[in-house]
Chain A
């Protein structure tokens, strides 16, 4: 069975500061990993995904994430936070087996950006 743990349900940073959102996964087979963002009253939007190519993945809006197999982690980072980054972020895992469409999500991390 696959699972995702996001450490910290709330993260608060100042504008211009580093953003670090933590995600650890568990999967019995090589995983595919995703980060999604959800703004208020909207659906989820894909930020980036890892599909076993480069371990450092760059996404939209200046975000990137690094896949570390030894640590079973896929933390999301952004060098400089912007007010518009305030949202809820979800890490998700999909295994490379035959679990059709079973994308397992973490509980989410709400990012607050202070001026």
Chain B
């Protein structure tokens, strides 16, 4: 595997379910990110981890819970979601957070909340 991978690619869940999204980067980077991409809205940064420490929580509801056990893996735990949470969730990584460091994106997880 190369680059940034995300699993699953598609997920359908009910409002009472608990599920997790997984992201793995094979680039030796130290920063990882979660973004939400909804139709007709700009990409929204959700969380940033730099050297496994969370450095940004962009006012994300607590029904989204990130976990970064090491610099290569990032999870997004989901529980009691709402239909408006349906979106494409993108993971990205970079050498370090911020500045001129370009971010490399995974293919995303298409989430549908029923």
What is A's interface to B at a CB cutoff of 8 Å? 32, 34, 36, 41-46, 49, 51, 90, 94, 96, 98-108
Contacts and interface: CB of A to CB of B under 8 A. Distances in A.
B67 to A, nearest CB: 17
Given A90-B43, A100-B56, A101-B33, A41 B100 contact: no
Nearest to A44: B105
Given A102-B98, A103-B103, A43 B43 contact: no
30 contacts: A32-B99, A34-B102, A42-B108, A43-B6, A43-B90, A43-B106, A43-B107, A49-B102, A90-B43, A94-B98, A94-B99, A94-B100, A96-B99, A100-B56, A100-B97, A100-B98, A101-B31, A101-B33, A101-B45, A101-B48, A101-B50, A101-B97, A102-B45, A102-B56, A103-B45, A103-B103, A105-B42, A105-B43, A106-B42, A107-B41
Contacts of B98: 94, 98-102
A101 B94 contact: yes
A104 B41 CA distance: 12
Given A101-B50, A101-B98, A42 B45 contact: no
Nearest to A96: B99
Contacts of A49: 100, 102
B106 to A, nearest CB: 5
B108 to A, nearest CB: 5
Contact of B56 (A44, A96, A101, A104): A101
A34 B99 CA distance: 11
B4 interface: yes
Contacts of A42: 107-108
